[in-house]
Structure 1
Amino acid sequence: MNPFEMVVAIVAITAIASVVRAKYGAGSSCASSRGRRTGAADMPPADNPEADRLRGEVKALKERVAVLERLATDSSTALDREFEKLKQQD
């Protein structure tokens, strides 16, 4: 077996192993991490001013993105009206 064939065989074995692992859910081998996943969705909401400020900022940014999406999909006359409305707000 030449080196090129060996590299192709290793890549094929790795690909097959990752597919089998994904299909059968054989994640990490560490027993303590099985069934326990930690993430932002699992954490309780924090009651501090910094978190409240960040939530407000995220809400404002989502509203701005919604306006921008609406502007991008509307016709040009509606676009002009929205620009005027936004200029009047500031």
Structure 2
Amino acid sequence: MSFWTAAVIIVAIWGFVTIWSRRHDRDLGVTRDEDGNPIFAPRDDNRSAAELEAAHHELEDLRERIKVLERIATDSNNSDARERARISAEIEALRGLPNAKEDKSE
């Protein structure tokens, strides 16, 4: 292969890569300034105010759910919660015992 053949192949590869990268940038909304630096164009989201409001409410609901889940996860792991669970278990165990008044009436 001669020098000139290799030069033409290299230039052709460079051209294909440039065309591919420009198409990819166009799909992403990227433009270039005069120095070739990429400039990201602002996205034009065509969402209505009602859709944005609904998304905002959904986000707030999800944040509330996360707060509740965090509280559940942390409250059951402290000593007060374990003490309450122990006392509740004792009360339920006492409720299961036969009552002394019921035994005498029979």
Comparing both structures, which one devotes a greater share of its residues to strand? Answer: 2
Q: Same fold (TM over 0.5)?
A: no
Output the TM-score relative to the length of structure 2: 0.31
Report which of the two structures shows the higher radius of gyration computed on alpha carbons.
2
Output the TM-score relative to the length of structure 1: 0.36
